[in-house]
């Protein structure tokens, strides 16, 4: 059975069809071709012809022309649309003209760096020119690094290596920085939140060092489709940007299915679990031999699904080795082997986090299944684009969970297919992040009194570092005076400086099997947690908080663990406030949040029932961050219906839906924000709902929400109103057992009184 026959089969499967809320077919689209630019080097034209490329897509030519004019550009086109050639053309044009020129290619992951360097090297082989293209990352041998520094024309790396391995050692890279012409930033939509805020400061340092050596590079950026690509690119590089977003690439026929698991309890609005449903769908597809990728929202879900699908493979007499998991935390050799297996067909099914969402070449897959909405429209299209990458027919199935965001998307397909309101937010002036990179920059080059690293605040920060004996001021310059190497203490993926290392104490050599960031560690690797790595279950024997090490041993458990946390919040400062209609007061400010993991639940595999609990004893973690909060006026609750307990249930229901729907408007994960309802808030003395960024210093998420809150509250009202449950459910205001009998009715009564405009 081929893919077209499989699609016909699913179309006639009544059991499958009754759960489909939308089946869209995107017809194939012919390419929009244009001739090569008149000034394109003849050697490049000949090399492209040898590769079977006789014309360019319109966006490739437009990028080349705009870059030739000296402009910074951002190219926004879908997956597999030829963005790589869009930036390779101007770079190689320059290198063929001036062999002394240099370029840096920056990719968000090591895997993508290594994949893309092969494309550049293939072009070099067709050119038959001495253009040296190298990957420079943590896996690069030391003897090769010397060659790259002295002779590399194109240095392909990732933000972490640029931050720790290149910029602090710029005196070894003089050839690169003296002649730096281009910097390529690929997949910039992935640089949001903490990661993007760090990268913006790494770019500040890069531009500062380049200017010191007399170069001022042009930036060529690429992105998936989001609402604000120009704004994001501008915030990352702090330069005026030219947008190129008219896609000229062809597209194969794509079937895109929205699948909503059946309701198993109408009173509570409970649906069949997304993991179980994906397992059943995969069972229908696997016998056809179709190669598929299954995307899961978390590392834990990847491991659970991989375990289940290996069992399915055995039942179908398919080798379980043809089913593999793929996620962060795997060793490089494991990831390379999986990527190779996907290309050569020895792996039929891969279950992945968004680690394979980006443009790594994993060959031509037939089917993409999303085990839950990935959290953003951009990510959903990226994941869908991993199937049918060679203009062939492809199938995408989005299987929703009961989460409110999933249910909103699955029941509003026009929202998904017709518009993209998501904006990617970064805060390059987040104080902890800015201060970290200011230290790194001072280590790299002394600061002068007149120099501006961050507008309005650079002198104050430099003087503070002098007072702390981190810098020394002499003759109007600020010099680094510590023995430590500051870049080593700054990780780009979180605001915390450290990670927790996970050590298999059952292994003879106590091998390291992974690591996890400091804020996530109390929830994932607390003592007695079940940690799953590459489908192998490990029991956490001890989390040594002082040493930042988690000691584990392999077990065969029939349950996994889910942590319970407690949060306290205090207002520190009010920065902005307005009084809305009907007395609702909206405020933006700074807050202190104390968080501690107190317990965990044991969740049984397959049935997902709670089979026990345990206590966790860990120190409290506190962050200072930004928050938005709404104070509800007392006269809103004069109705006798609103007893204090009923108000609390209503606020809790609004907060639950709000927490899950905010990512509709701001590109973030629900784990990036927290929403806390309070019936009688100690600060406002009124019923209040807080939304805060879960990162030290804030990431600009709650600030963005402050500007668009009515649209988001309106979406919350619409979603709760249209949910089919009676008294609240996991798809709207939360389970009745948690939210109370009046969670839904109270939430709707409160929202209706605010006279929001419903979608």
Query: How far, in Å, are 3, 146, 307, 310 from residue 316 at the CA level?
Result: 19, 52, 15, 10
Examine the domain organization and report whether 285 and 409 are in the same domain: yes
R_g (Cα) of the chain, nearest Å: 27
What are 108-119's pLDDT values in tens digits? 877 677 778 888
Domain annotation covers residue 138: yes
Instruction: Answer yes or no: do 143 and 221 share one domain.
Output: yes
Q: At 447, which helix (H) or strand (E)?
A: strand 447-448
Q: Which residue has the higher pLDDT, 522 or 330?
A: 522
Give residue 759's pLDDT. Answer: 44
* Residue 180 and residue 259 in one domain: no
For residues 255 and 381, membership in a common domain is answered with yes
Domain check: are 211 and 261 in the same one? no
| pLDDT at 607 > cutoff 70 | no
Range from 29-43, 265-279, 550-564 carrying the lowest mean pLDDT? 265-279
SS3 339: helix
Angle at 402 (CA atoms; ends 396, 406), nearest 5 degrees: 50
Residues 6+ apart with CB under 8 A from 285: 6, 292, 367
Residue with tokens 């380049």: 210
Res. 198 pLDDT band, cuts 50 70 90 = very high
Residue 94 lies in a domain: yes
Residue 46 lies in a domain: yes
Q: How many domains does the chain divide into? A: 4
Q: Dig out the tokens for 360 from the structure.
A: 């790594």
Q: Using one digit for the tens of pLDDT, what is the confidence trace for 631-677?
A: 999 888 988 899 999 999 999 999 999 998 998 888 777 778 889 99
Asked whether residue 355 is domain-assigned, the answer is: yes
In a domain, 518, yes or no: no
Which residue, of 364, 389, 418, is where some domain finishes? 418
The secondary structure element, H or E, covering residue 13 is none
The pLDDT score that the predictor gives to residue 305 is 93
Q: On the CB side of 543, how many CA atoms lie within 13 Å of its CA? A: 26
**For the residues 424-443, what does the mean pLDDT come to?**
90
Q: Is the dihedral of CA 693, 698, 701, 704 positive or negative?
A: positive
Q: Is 482 a residue whose pLDDT tops 70?
A: yes
pLDDT attached to residue 88: 95
Task: Give the domain CATH number at 287.
Answer: 3.40.50.300
Structure confidence by residue, pLDDT tens digits, 691-714: 999 888 888 889 989 988 888 999
Q: Is residue 179 domain-shared with residue 289, that is, in the same domain?
A: no
**Three-class DSSP category at 566:** strand
In a domain, 217, yes or no: yes
Q: What is the average pLDDT across 369-386?
A: 87
The answer for residues whose C-beta is within 8 angstroms of residue 718's C-beta and 6 or more apart is: 758, 759
Tokens of 619: 């120190």
Same domain, 636 and 746: yes
* Residue 690 scores a pLDDT above 90: yes
The DSSP annotation for 89-148 comes to HHHHHHHHH-TT-EEEEE-SSHHHHHHHHHHHHHHHHHHTS---EEE-STTS-HHHHHHH
The per-residue pLDDT for range 285-320, each reduced to its tens digit, is: 999 888 999 999 777 788 889 999 999 999 999 999
Whole-number average pLDDT of the chain: 88
Could you tell me where the beta strands, DSSP code E, fall in 8-66? 20-26, 33-34, 56-57
| pLDDT for position 402 | 79
> Terminal CA-to-CA distance of the chain, rounded, Å?
43
Last residue of a domain, one of 209, 226, 244: 244
Domain-located, residue 545? no
Cα within 13 Å of Cα(41), Cβ side = 18
Task: Tell me: do 55 and 175 sit in the same domain.
Answer: yes
pTM, rounded to two decimals: 0.79
pLDDT of 419: 63
SS3 content of the chain, % helix, strand, coil (to 5): 40, 25, 35
pLDDT for position 269: 65
- What gap in Å lies between CA 455 and CA 605, rounded to an integer? 53
Q: Domain boundary at 244, 263, 278, which?
A: 244
Q: Tell me which residue has tokens 């709650």.
A: 702
Top pLDDT among 535 and 659 is at: 659
Confidence band, pLDDT 50/70/90 cuts, at residue 22: very high
Q: What is the Cα–Cα distance from 19 to 271, expressed in whole angstroms?
A: 11
Q: Which domain holds residue 39?
A: 33-244
Q: Are residues 61 and 196 in the same domain?
A: yes
Q: Residue 582 — left, alpha, or beta (φ > 0 → left; ψ -120 to 50 → alpha)?
A: left
Residue 697's region, left for phi above 0, alpha for psi from -120 to 50, else beta, is: left
User: What does the CA dihedral 432, 435, 441, 444 come to, rounded to 10 degrees?
Assistant: -90
* Assigned domain for 484 exists: yes
pLDDT per residue as tens digits for the range 511-528: 888 777 677 788 889 999
**Based on the domain organization, do 13 and 43 belong to the same domain?**
no
Measure the CA angle with vertex 194, ends 193 and 198; round to 5°: 120
Ranked by mean pLDDT, the top range of 78-82, 148-152, 685-689, 734-738 is 685-689
Q: Angle at CA 649, nearest 5°, toward 643 and 651?
A: 105
DSSP 29: B
The C-alpha atoms of residue 298 and residue 302 are separated, in whole angstroms, by 6
pLDDT of 378-420, one tens digit each?
A: 888 888 888 876 567 899 999 998 778 888 889 888 888 876 6
Q: Residues with Cβ < 8 Å from 402, sequence gap 6 or more?
A: 261, 269, 270, 271, 274, 729, 730, 731
pLDDT at 356 over 80: no
User: What pLDDT sits at residue 363?
Assistant: 65
pLDDT band at 609 (very low <50, low <70, confident <90, very high): low
Q: Does 464 lie in the same domain as 439?
A: yes
Residues 665 and 691 in one domain: yes
């Amino acid at each position: 059975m081929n893919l077209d026959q499989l699609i016909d089969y699913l179309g006639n499967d009544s059991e499958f069809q009754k759960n489909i809320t939308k089946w869209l077919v995107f017809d194939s689209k012919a390419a929009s071709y244009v001739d090569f630019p008149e000034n394109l080097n003849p050697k490049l034209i000949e090399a492209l012809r040898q590769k079977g490329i006789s014309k360019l897509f319109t966006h490739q030519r437009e990028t080349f022309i705009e870059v030739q004019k000296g402009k910074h550009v951002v190219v926004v086109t879908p997956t597999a649309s030829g963005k790589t050639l869009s930036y390779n053309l101007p770079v190689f044009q320059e290198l063929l003209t001036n062999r002394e020129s240099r370029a840096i290619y920056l990719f968000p992951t090591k895997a993508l760096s290594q994949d893309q360097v092969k494309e550049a090297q293939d072009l070099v082989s067709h050119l038959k020119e001495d253009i040296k293209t190298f990957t420079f990352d943590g896996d690069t041998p030391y003897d090769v690094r010397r060659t790259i520094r002295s002779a590399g024309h194109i240095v392909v790396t990732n933000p972490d290596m640029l931050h720790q391995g290149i910029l602090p050692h710029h005196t070894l890279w003089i050839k690169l920085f003296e002649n730096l012409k281009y910097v390529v930033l690929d997949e910039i939509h992935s640089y949001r939140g903490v990661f993007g805020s760090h990268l913006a400061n790494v770019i500040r340092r890069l531009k500062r060092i380049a200017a010191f050596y007399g170069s001022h590079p042009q930036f060529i950026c690429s992105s998936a489709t989001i609402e604000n690509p120009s704004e994001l690119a501008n915030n990352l590089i702090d330069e005026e940007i030219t947008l190129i977003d008219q896609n000229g690439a062809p597209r194969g026929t794509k079937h895109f299915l929205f699948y909503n698991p059946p309701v198993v309890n109408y009173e509570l609005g409970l649906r069949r679990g997304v993991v179980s449903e994906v397992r059943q769908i995969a069972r229908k597809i696997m016998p056809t031999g179709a190669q598929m990728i299954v995307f899961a929202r978390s590392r834990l879900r990847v491991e659970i699904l991989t375990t289940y699908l290996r069992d399915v493979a055995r039942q179908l007499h398919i080798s379980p080795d043809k089913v593999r998991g793929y996620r962060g935390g795997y060793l490089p050799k494991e990831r390379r082997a999986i990527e190779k297996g996907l290309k050569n067909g020895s792996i039929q099914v891969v279950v992945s986090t968004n680690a394979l969402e980006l443009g790594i070449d994993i060959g031509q897959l037939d089917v993409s299944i999303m085990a839950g909405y990935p959290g953003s429209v951009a990510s959903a299209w990226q994941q869908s684009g991993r199937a049918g990458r060679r203009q062939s027919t492809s199938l995408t199935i989005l299987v929703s969970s009961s989460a409110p965001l999933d249910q909103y998307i699955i029941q509003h397909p026009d929202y998904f297919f017709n518009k993209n309101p998501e904006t990617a937010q970064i805060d390059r002036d987040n104080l902890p992040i800015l201060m970290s990179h200011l230290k790194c920059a001072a280590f790299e080059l002394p600061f002068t009194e007149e120099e501006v690293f961050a507008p309005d605040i650079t002198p104050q920060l430099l003087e503070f570092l002098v007072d702390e004996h981190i810098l020394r001021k002499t003759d109007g310059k600020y010099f680094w005076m510590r023995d430590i190497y500051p870049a080593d203490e700054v990780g780009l993926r979180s605001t915390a400086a450290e990670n927790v290392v996970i050590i298999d104490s059952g292994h003879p050599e106590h091998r390291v099997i992974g690591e996890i960031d400091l804020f996530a560690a109390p929830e994932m690797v607390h003592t007695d947690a079940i940690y799953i790595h590459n489908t192998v279950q490990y029991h956490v024997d001890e989390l040594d908080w002082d040493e930042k090490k988690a000691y584990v041993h392999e077990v065969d458990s029939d349950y996994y663990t889910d942590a319970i946390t407690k949060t306290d919040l205090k207002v520190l400062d009010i920065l902005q406030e307005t009084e809305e209609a009907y007395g609702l007061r909206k405020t933006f400010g700074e807050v202190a949040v104390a968080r501690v993991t107190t317990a965990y639940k044991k969740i049984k595999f397959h049935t997902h029932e709670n089979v026990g609990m345990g206590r966790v004893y860990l120190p409290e973690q506190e962050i200072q961050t930004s928050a938005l909060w709404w104070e509800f006026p007392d006269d809103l609750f004069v109705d006798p219906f609103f007893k204090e307990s009923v108000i609390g249930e209503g606020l809790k229901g609004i907060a639950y839906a709000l927490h899950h729907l905010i990512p509709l408007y701001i590109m973030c994960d629900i784990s990036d924000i927290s929403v806390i309802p309070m019936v009688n808030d100690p600060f406002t003395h009124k019923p209040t709902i807080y939304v805060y960024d879960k990162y030290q210093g804030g990431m600009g998420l709650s600030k963005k929400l402050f500007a668009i809150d009515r649209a988001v509250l309106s979406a919350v009202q619409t979603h709760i109103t249209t949910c089919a449950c009676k008294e609240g459910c996991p798809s709207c205001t939360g389970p009745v057992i948690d939210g109370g009998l009046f969670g839904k009715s109270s939430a709707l009564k409160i929202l209706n009184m605010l006279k929001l405009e419903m979608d």
